[in-house]
Amino acid sequence: MSAAVRGIRGATTVEKNDREEILEATLELLKIIVKENDLISEDIVSIIFTVTNDLDAAFPAEAARELLGWKCVPLLCMNEMNAPGKLGMCIRVLLHINTERPQQEIKHVYLRKASQLRPDLFLL
């Protein structure tokens, strides 16, 4: 199989709108995604982060840029849609990666209360 761009989804939650808590939860999520998918930063094409409207104390991308040192990876933060019944205090991520692995071998990671979002995907 030749290399392709694949997406890796993940999400986590925090207990409060606190800068350190947002960065720590994002760092934990990214580290597990990297470990479970055997990634290096050069594999990552870009990352999109979203947060629910109740989180504004920090940009999750700071965890990737400052704590993991991913200064060359394009990062973008956005607000999640404010849909009825949504899970609050939630940080979501979509990593675009270059890989030769088929989609069924990609491991998606949902932590804490976010594990309820996609029970059909691989969960930790």
| Residue 9 annotated as catalytic | yes
| Residue 65 annotated as catalytic | yes
| Residue 118 annotated as catalytic | yes
C-beta atoms surrounding 1 within 10 Å: 7
Which residue in the list 6, 24, 110, 112 is annotated as catalytic?
Answer: 110
Can you list the positions of beta strands (E) in 1-124? 4-13, 44-51, 75-79, 90-99, 109-110
Which residue in the list 28, 36, 77, 101 is annotated as catalytic?
Answer: 77
Which residue in the list 36, 62, 112, 118 is annotated as catalytic?
Answer: 118
6: which 2 tokens?
Answer: 């694949």
27: which 2 tokens?
Answer: 């760092």
| Residue 92 annotated as catalytic | yes
| Residue 42 annotated as catalytic | no
Which residue in the list 24, 65, 101, 112 is annotated as catalytic?
Answer: 65
Which residue in the list 9, 24, 62, 112 is annotated as catalytic?
Answer: 9
| Residue 80 annotated as catalytic | yes
Identity of the residue numbered 43: D
Active site residues: 9, 65, 77, 80, 92, 110, 118
